[in-house]
Chains A and B, each alone.
Chain A
């Protein structure tokens, strides 16, 4: 009997092996903690990145422009003396902003390096003996076309041109002067051409010139002989009548119909193609001061008029109901109080730069009605400014000194008003909401109003909710409150399965099957809407009349199953009688009756189709959450109510629904979020036209569908691209806020039930 046997065996937990094991385990534990924390946090960050990335892409839209002196190889480019002799008549740059050109009053075209003013080439323009240069007219800034008017009544049309070659892989730009209609001078009239305005199309050049005492219009026709490829020109001149205005500056619009004459503070509009010869159709008072700058904006539709009080106004011809044109002031830009000295228009956008006597430079965009930048660039009076074609550089001339500025103005065409307010676009009768992001021609004015898209989104969601909500909520009420559990277990997963149905399938059915079917059976659809509820209630009433012994064969809570054949029959019945109803009420065809009789436009793929298809898609979402909310209402509440003698329906409406209402609200919010963001159904079941009309028989374009349609084609980093990101951001924010709201309501509800 030794005590040794009863002592517990000693286990040494501190053997080196055990210690190592423990250390290893501790290490594993620690690394797991670190690893999981790292992994978890990075996943969460990755998800949140979406928000910040969208914001990052959108942000440049709302940055204001900046300008600095041009930097070359880290050094600021200094001001240099204007190359060549004489005074500047015209200043411009080529595509890369490496070479500038200066037309002087001595008839010289001076090409120079924009960085240091080195003269690269100097070319004398054809000059009639004994005559002086009386005027220079810009025909097209973007096409580099200019015209010179001489004091002997002759004119010269020329362009500055640049050719890029790549000898040894290095780009070399060679400047030259070209003469599109030949280098011979064109006789416009006998008077000195102190005023000159030129407009052209492929074959005809219209030159209007003269001085304050009278003007002549000369048409130069250019024809290329088909056989010999020789260019033949012919001239014809007519004397223009005297206009009741003292002409200071004149402009001819590119359509060659309109001549704009600026007087001291008035502008006269001359219709050159009026029935009985050229005549003034309108004289407007353009400013209360004096007109100092009178120019055309890109595209040649809009006039920019600057005055000596610092105001710049945009005007264009607007057609009224009777097809009469009126020069109308569209918008005005705040330009300080010093007289405007010069305006340089952008070559590819509807924007311009202005400089005033105080040396303040301003960058504007007309569509967005935005002043992108105001900056003092010289201390004294500048004479001339010139935009580079890519709008990334600007030359400023002051006292025969040139400075080169770098401009960072990526997205001037976006502003709150351009996106969300009515904008008066060129060629429109009044301000409108329009989405039209691209067109074939270069001088197109992009129309980035998000309103039609937002409207379309809400319209689609509205019709979807209109159809989906009653069905989903009524269905959920019945399933949660009246249905027998055995059936509920089958029905609920079944309807939830609908949620997983790919929307591309719903969209495809809506577009290819439902839309034609509905066009064919329009009356039938409306008859169904009326007949089915009546059939259900009638059947219910009839069922109540049935003797108990039959009625009790089917236990309570199975009513829905009984209704299935009733509804199918009702639908078939409705489709059958709809033809008769159409003949009776709508003259045989409801669709024709709507478009011809009511004069409501009817698209085959319309909001009703979208409403049904998307309603179908939101039903399971709303159904599922509503059902959960109603089912979660504590049973003792309804038992209490029933025990007090209320009918099941009274219990439902007075006890259960009020308790569950926050849950139903959250279901509606989430359903709404889904309808707003749905892409494929809308893409396939509507015509995707961005119109603003509540008409149920017309389509729409939603934000989401617009992204899907236009995103693949938009240029990376362009305004259009970023606006599509903005649309995505708006969608993101909207659904996120709506869902968060719904989630908070739901959590609140859960807490409340917990206390009951």
Chain B
């Protein structure tokens, strides 16, 4: 069908199309964003092949070993300005970002190379990558394994031979042994010695508090001293055990050849895992991927949060959200019930309703400022003076912590719960309430047995939305208790088990901190994407379930709305 442009334009169709385009753009933006996060976040755990190539620049050749991470095109003029020889007539060149690791040898993890200057590219099966507790990844060839000063295995070639594989097996066994010792050291340092230190600190505070009270109870002091001596003994035993373990863990070393050709020694105790990606099949890689993913969600961060897992951040986020929802649910529901069922409907309630509604739109940082000023400094400061004078001047509740963060977020999200619950209450037809009252039930009974059960899905929706909001909120938390690295989880085996005064880690803040405050942003970036993906997934899940519950609720009460 032929239509002339002017006629088509006159009908307003171009505008309709542009409007349609806006929807399409919005959808593309959202999907694109999610795909970007997902692709960058998930790729990180895949064991990338290690490239070995000869890199020549300005008539100078070196061997380079590493993973190709990124590539971009750069104008040749820019390169020429930087003093790089670029052949005539070339306008643009491809530049690859290589992760070369070996920060202890070369100083940097990453380097840019011109793709065209790489020659003799290969993926030798014998190249191995090692993740380490410090200095980042290592890439190179395994040359020898040492126990103490004795060499237990050695191999000098570049081919996959049985001798090499035997050496590799020994290497892996040695890593496993070191891991086991490492685990026991961790267990002793973190838990057993941690518990002793914790108790000693508690004893110190107890003594101080007795002194502050002016107590002259010699028996009490003696008891404290006795217990302290006992703990000191226990500590000494553990200390000896530790020294022994440290001696054991430092037994083994490997000798490895790096890209420059020289060999270096690496303590096996420093190695987290070693693998040869170029020699892995798809299933081996999948297995590796799975174990990396598991490490990511279950392990503690290493190397200033740029490696390892984010378990403390997940744990902190979840715990804070749980405490927050325990606080916000009853209060939000009570406030909504009061506003809808008990308060006299009139100008004042309308005003309050608008105010509550609008508080949901108040910037979250304002809640953070309020939390810091009122909860932390005012309430916390007074609690410290009244109940923890023995710990002063170091604050107990007078500094940001789990409790204040939870309460601040509860305050931030309570309008969400109130609004959602009220909406649920409004939807319940009058007739149902009146029916209950006519049968002789009191108002409280009607509320408890009829109204609240019917409104419960709405409350659930409200709480889930509140949780979703709280889980993603970062700005207020920066003021009231989130830290980049918390030494201990706020929930542990030391009495009173849940440490409400402790600072904690949070997924959202982790993203901000690692992405923007980290000394090695380039290395940390994939981890930030992965963290972001996790956060998005959790929040999307929460929101989708809220939507589902809301729809379910609407279906359920459709019959009542006649």
B15 near A560 (CB under 8 angstroms)?
no
B2 CB–A CB distance under 8 Å: yes
State whether A511 and B24 are in contact (beta carbons under 8 Å apart), knowing that A36-B334, A502-B535 are contacts in the complex. no
Interface presence of B373 (CB below 8 A): yes
A589 to B473 CA separation, bound complex (whole angstroms): 39
The reply to whether the CB of B405 lies closer than 8 angstroms to some CB of chain A is: no
Alpha-carbon distance A652/B336, docked complex (angstroms): 38
Min CB–CB distance A256 → chain B (angstroms): 42
Please name all residues of chain B whose beta carbon is closer than 8 Å to the beta carbon of A40 when the two chains form the complex: 334-339, 342-343
Q: Can you name the residue of chain A whose Cβ is closest to the Cβ of B546?
A: A500
Q: Which residue of A lies closest to B3 (CB)?
A: A544
| CB-based contact B362/A732 at 8 Å | yes
Contacts of A478 in B (CB 8 A): 16, 19-20, 22-23
Could you tell me the distance between the alpha carbons of A502 and B33 in the complex, rounded to whole angstroms? 13
Which 5 pairs, one residue from A and one from B, show the smallest C-beta to C-beta distance? A40-B338, A677-B363, A649-B12, A502-B472, A540-B17
Give the shortest distance, in Å, between A474 (CB) and chain B (any CB): 4
* Chain B residues numbered 366-382 whose CB sits less than 8 Å from any CB in chain A: 366-370, 372-374, 377
Nearest CB of B to A646, in Å:
10
Given A44-B356, A504-B508 in contact, is the A511-B18 Cβ separation under 8 Å?
no
Q: Given the interface contacts A29-B444, A505-B511, does A670 sit within 8 Å of B24 by beta carbon?
A: no
- Known A-B contacts: A50-B359, A563-B21, A652-B12. Give 7 more (CB < 8 A): A482-B16, A512-B515, A546-B1, A560-B27, A563-B20, A725-B369, A732-B366
Distance of A164 from chain B, by nearest CB (Å): 18
* Closest A residue by C-beta to B92: A579
Query: Within the assembled complex, what's the spacing in Å between the Cα atoms of A493 and B8?
Result: 32
Q: Cα distance A708–B363 when bound, in Å?
A: 12
CB distance from A45 to the nearest CB of B (A): 10
Cβ contact of B18, chosen from A32, A474, A708, A711, cutoff 8 A: A474
A50-B411 CB under 8 A given contacts A36-B334, A483-B23: yes
**B331, A567: Cβ atoms under 8 Å?**
no
Q: Are A53 and B515 in contact (CB under 8 A)?
A: no
Question: Hey, which chain A residues are within 8 Å of B539, CB to CB?
Answer: 500-502
- CB pair B468 A623 closer than 8 Å: no
B415 touches which of A47, A482, A545, A673 (Cβ 8 Å): A47
Cα A5 to Cα B25 with chains together (Å)? 81
Does the CB pair A28–B358 fall under 8 Å? no
Find chain A residues with CB under 8 A from B19 CB.
474-475, 477-478, 482
Interface residues of A in 706-756 (CB under 8 A from B): 707-708, 711-712, 716, 724-725, 728, 731-732, 735-736, 739-740, 743-744
Total count of chain B residues near the partner, CB < 8 A: 102
User: Is A677's CB under 8 angstroms from B364's CB?
Assistant: yes
Query: Is the pair B444, A537 in contact by a Cβ cutoff of 8 Å?
Result: no
A568 in complex: contacting residue of B26, B28, B373, CB < 8 Å: B28
Quick check: B357 and A743 within 8 Å, CB to CB?
A: yes
Contacts of A431 in B (CB 8 A): none
Chain B, residues 67-90, CB within 8 Å of chain A (1/0): the string is: 000001001010000000000000
Q: How far is the CA of A497 from the CA of B29 in the complex (A)?
A: 13
CA A37 to CA B77, docked complex, whole Å: 75
Residue from B33, B364, B373, B469 in contact with A57 in the complex, judged by beta carbons closer than 8 Å: B373
Select from chain A the residue with minimum beta-carbon distance to B376: A716
- How many whole Å from B467's CB to the nearest CB in chain A? 11
Quick one: which of A645-686 are within 8 Å of B by CB?
A: 647-650, 652-653, 670, 673-674, 676-680, 683-684
Residues A536 and B369 in contact, CB atoms below 8 Å apart = no
B203 proximal to A (CB < 8 A): no
Give the most central of A25, A477, A513, A563: most B CB within 10 Å.
A563
Q: Which residues of A contact B532 (CB under 8 A)?
A: 505, 508-509
Known: A29-B443, A567-B28. A53 touches B374 (CB 8 A): yes
Cβ–Cβ contact A503 & B472, under 8 A: yes
Assess whether B166 is interfacial by the CB under 8 Å rule. no
Q: Which of B367, B368, B444, B472 has the most CB of A within 10 A?
A: B444
A residues 451-510 with Cβ under 8 Å of B?
470-475, 477-479, 482-483, 491, 493-495, 497-498, 500-505, 507-509
Inter-subunit contact A508/B13 (CB<8 Å): no
Q: 11 interchain pairs (CB within 8 A)?
A: A33-B444, A40-B336, A53-B370, A474-B23, A478-B19, A478-B23, A482-B20, A507-B512, A567-B28, A680-B512, A725-B369
**Given A40-B334, A684-B512, A684-B516, A728:B366 Cβ within 8 A:** yes
Residues of B within 8 A of A37 (CB): 338, 342-343
- Closest approach, in angstroms, between the C-beta of A710 and any C-beta of chain B? 11
Q: How far is the CA of A399 from the CA of B22 in the complex (A)?
A: 82
**B352: Cβ under 8 A from any A Cβ:** yes
* Interface flag for A619 (CB, 8 Å): yes
Taking a contact as CB atoms under 8 Å apart, the answer to whether B365 and A708 are in contact is: yes
Closest to A646 in B: B12
A interface residue numbers (CB < 8 A to B)? 25-26, 28-29, 32-33, 36-37, 39-41, 43-44, 46-50, 53-54, 57, 470-475, 477-479, 482-483, 491, 493-495, 497-498, 500-505, 507-509, 511-513, 520, 532-533, 536-537, 539-541, 544-548, 551, 559-561, 563-564, 566-568, 588-589, 616, 619, 623, 647-650, 652-653, 670, 673-674, 676-680, 683-684, 704, 707-708, 711-712, 716, 724-725, 728, 731-732, 735-736, 739-740, 743-744
- B338 x A536 contact (CB < 8 A): no
Q: In the complex, A520→B547 CA distance in Å?
A: 40
Q: Are B1 and A545 in contact (CB under 8 A)?
A: yes
Question: In the complex the two chains form, is A47's CB within 8 Å of B475's CB?
Answer: no
**A30 CB → nearest B CB, Å:** 8
The chain A residue with its CB closest to the CB of B330 is A39
On whether the beta carbons of A545 and B2 are closer than 8 Å, the reply is yes
| Pairwise interchain contact B20-A560, C-beta atoms closer than 8 A | yes
Q: Is B543 an interface residue (CB 8 A)?
A: yes
With A53-B370, A478-B20, A504-B474 already in contact, the answer to whether A649 and B11 are too (CB < 8 A) is yes
Nearest B residue to A497 via CB reads B543
B361 contacts partner chain A, Cβ-Cβ < 8 Å: yes
Query: Shortest Cβ distance from A462 into chain B, in angstroms?
Result: 17
Q: Which chain B residues in 158-187 approach chain A with CB under 8 Å?
A: none
Q: Given that A712-B479, A731-B363 are contacting pairs, would A504 and B511 also be in contact in the complex, using a CB cutoff of 8 Å?
A: yes
B274 is an interface residue with CB less than 8 A from chain A = no
**Closest-CB distance, B371 to chain A (whole angstroms):** 10
- Complex: chain A residue closest to B446, CB-CB: A29
Q: Given A477-B19, A725-B369, A32 and B24 touching (CB < 8 A)?
A: no
Nearest CB in chain B to that of A736: its residue: B358
Q: Smallest Cβ distance from B363 to chain A, in angstroms?
A: 2
Known: A478-B20, A508-B532, A731-B365. A39 touches B475 (CB 8 A): no
Contact of B414 among A47, A54, A498, A511 (CB under 8 A): A47
- Whether B324 is near chain A, meaning CB under 8 Å from some CB there, is no
CB distance from B196 to the nearest CB of A (A): 32
Pair A740/B354 contact, Cβ less than 8 Å: yes
Is B489 among interface residues, defined by CB-CB distance under 8 A?
A: no
Q: Is the CB of A511 within 8 A of B363?
A: no
Also in contact, A28 and B442, with CB within 8 A (given A53-B373, A482-B19, A509-B33): yes
In the complex, residue of chain B having the shortest beta-carbon distance to the beta carbon of A732: B366
CA separation between A83 and B374, bound complex, in Å? Answer: 47
Within 8 Å CB of B17, what residues of A?
Answer: 536-537, 539-540, 559, 563
Given contacts A478-B16, A567-B21, contact A680 B26 (CB under 8 A): no
> Counting CB contacts under 8 A, is B233 at the interface?
no
- Supposing A57-B373, A567-B24 touch, asked if A540 and B30 sit within 8 A by C-beta, the answer is no
For the complex formed, measure the closest distance between the CB of B175 and the CB atoms of chain A, giving whole angstroms.
34
Taking CB atoms, residues of chain A closer than 8 Å to B15 are: 649
B22 touches A475 (CB 8 A): yes
Expressed in whole angstroms, the minimum distance between the Cβ of B177 and any Cβ of chain A is 40
Partner of B352, one of A44, A491, A494: A44
* B37 interface contact, C-beta 8 A: yes
Q: Select one of B342, B414, B508, B547 contacting A36, CB under 8 A.
A: B342
B106 within 8 Å of A (CB atoms): no
Minimum CB–CB distance from B254 to chain A (whole Å) comes to: 35
Q: A497-B544, A736-B358 known; A533 and B21 CB under 8 Å?
A: yes
